Structure 1
Amino acid sequence: MTGVRTPGRAALPEQTLRTDRWWLSPVVTALGLLAFVGYSTWRAFFGLHTAYAAPYVSPFYSPCLAANCPDMKQGADWALFGSWWQLSPALIVLIFPLGFRLTCYYYRKAYYRAFWSSPPACAVAEPHARYTGETRFPLILQNVHRYFFYFAILVAGVLTWDTVLGFRNPAGDWGHMGLGTLVLLVNIVLIWAYTASCHSCRHIVGGRLRHFSKHPVRYRLWTWVGRLNARHMQLAWASLISVAVADLYVYLLASGAFSDPRFF
């Protein structure tokens, strides 16, 4: 027997001496992640014909990299994958932001606790007999997080352009602003804030420096990213919710549920 039940350790029958509702956080986390996975899976496989509602593009389908994309008329429609790609075009692009989030330091902590009970919470013994951390396959692949960061930057750049195009009306004229424009604007701000608060971004901005005094610009950027990094958890959830809300809004418009309220 290994772990906390090893002979010689204190023989406590209780799993933990905590008297608060320590189990509530992992349960809520699991439900929240499962809800997003379920929704995004449904939209990725069955949302092709409701991915565009002029002038808005669903963040799940942008940039559109397959020939079976709908005629979005604007936005990043590059069709790098030919007619041989028969699956949803969303699967091509979603692998990058989802890979970035899946390997994110905060999300790793969140789903390790919520789904694997590793550990369930602070000061709560995990049920596993052995612990190897992220030193073995498949968890050693979590180290690709820094590379997913670069792809996440590119996707965020495309979504930024989609947001700019949201200031055009359905006819393509500039000067439009509707509720969808604000939805996309809030979404991209949260996505950039979450991406910039990433530990990889913090290391890129201020890492490998021996003397901050010799690099005042990078030091200033490092302090800004550090402030965002302190809110990494909140930004992770806020951006996850915002991207789902943005996609849902485009879906409702494309399906004819209501018309986009226009401010001007």
Structure 2
Amino acid sequence: MATGTDPATPDLTAAPGTAPAAGGVRHPSRAAIAARHLRTDRWWLQPAATAAGLLAFVVYSTWRAFANDAYYAAPYVSPFYSPCLAENCVPMKGGADWGLFGSWWALSPALLVLIFPLGFRLTCYYYRKAYYRGFWASPPACAVAEPHARYSGETRFPLILQNVHRYFFYFAILVAGVLTYDAVLGFRDARGSWGHMGLGTLVLLVNIVLIWAYTLSCHSCRHIVGGRLRHFSRHPVRYRMWGMVSALNSRHMLLAWASLVSVAVADLYVYLVATGAFDDPRFF
């Protein structure tokens, strides 16, 4: 019986449940392969592109969140600033201007609401994979060893906070509902009359469709709909809903990126119209 004295043999006499000493894939109990990996393709392109895409969004959203300007161009409101919860919001004709926070809030109203959609995305199962690989190299790609000697998963602070994802899901539903209301208001003109449709209306509609698709494709949503059912035959309605959510869930990565781009494009469009860069093309 092996006793662990052979560097290439694991120590089978160790107490059950105990972790091996630090060393990761370079630990003596692992196969002695000198190369970091045996891949011959350009495996680094995907994590590099992921990091670049997420970094670009972080830079843009940070600028817009602190700008506190040009987020309303009647009848369009930027998704970064809706619902507008501060009293220092610009006047919105029928928009989600609730003014729940007093005049003591002097910062950008976006900082009050972005915590919820960003918290939902930061704790999302796909986005965890994306930034773990893109920024932390944990691991950088399949069949490529990570440089970290220890791995504790999401069992310790701060990564254990990722478990709040299911609660951010409920807030994400509320925010998506408000943005749906904003998209409907896009069918009104600047005077508040219905029957308007401009390019901005389509931009907000596409954005909210993608946001709903991404939100409902969430793993937490799939679990809420049918994760605890033992007999699908006894719950035909929930089973049908679970099947639809599962179909969306299989495209969760695509929907995550598409909705991330759409929300930035929607904000940029409102910004350009609000600053007078161009007039919103009107269809009727």
TM-score (norm 1): 0.98
1:35: which partner in 2? 56
Task: Note the 1:196-207 alignment, pairs <5 A.
Answer: 196-207=216-227
Secondary structure of 1:14's counterpart equals coil
Cα distance in 1, alignment partners of residues 29 and 163 from structure 2: 35
1:93: which partner in 2? 113
Secondary structure of 2:98's counterpart equals strand
TM-score (norm 2): 0.91
Identity rate of aligned residues, in percent? 82
1:2 to partner: Cα distance: 1.1
Q: Is residue 2:258 matched to residue 1:238? A: yes
Cα distance in 2, alignment partners of residues 121 and 68 from structure 1: 46
Bigger share in helix:
1
Tell whether the 8 Å contact from 2:93 to 2:192 is kept in structure 1 after alignment: no
Post-superposition Cα deviations, 1:70-99, rounded to whole Å, max 9, x if no partner, equal 112221111111111111110110000000
1:152 to 163, 166, 172: 172
Cα distance in 1, alignment partners of residues 227 and 151 from structure 2: 30
Cα distance in 2, alignment partners of residues 148 and 118 from structure 1: 24
Q: Which has the larger radius of gyration?
A: 2
Moved more, 31-40 or 82-91: 82-91
Task: Note the 1:51-66 alignment, pairs <5 A.
Answer: 51-66=71-86
Unaligned runs of 5+ in 2: 1-21
2:141: which partner in 1? 121
2:93: which partner in 1? 73
Cα distance in 2, alignment partners of residues 35 and 245 from structure 1: 13
Q: Is residue 2:55 matched to residue 1:20? A: no
Task: Note the 1:164-175 alignment, pairs <5 A.
Answer: 164-175=184-195
Moved more, 207-216 or 180-189: 207-216
1:104 to 112, 120, 124: 124
Cα distance in 1, alignment partners of residues 162 and 103 from structure 2: 33
Unaligned runs of 5+ in 1: none
Cα distance in 2, alignment partners of residues 77 and 117 from structure 1: 42
Cα distance in 2, alignment partners of residues 130 and 229 from structure 1: 31
Task: Note the 1:167-206 alignment, pairs <5 A.
Answer: 167-206=187-226
Cα distance in 1, alignment partners of residues 160 and 181 from structure 2: 35
Post-superposition Cα deviations, 1:146-193, rounded to whole Å, max 9, x if no partner, equal 000000000000000000000001110000000000000000000000
Secondary structure of 1:44's counterpart equals helix
Post-superposition Cα deviations, 1:120-150, rounded to whole Å, max 9, x if no partner, equal 1110000000000000000000000000000
Corresponding residue pairs, total = 263
**RMSD, matched Cα:** 0.7
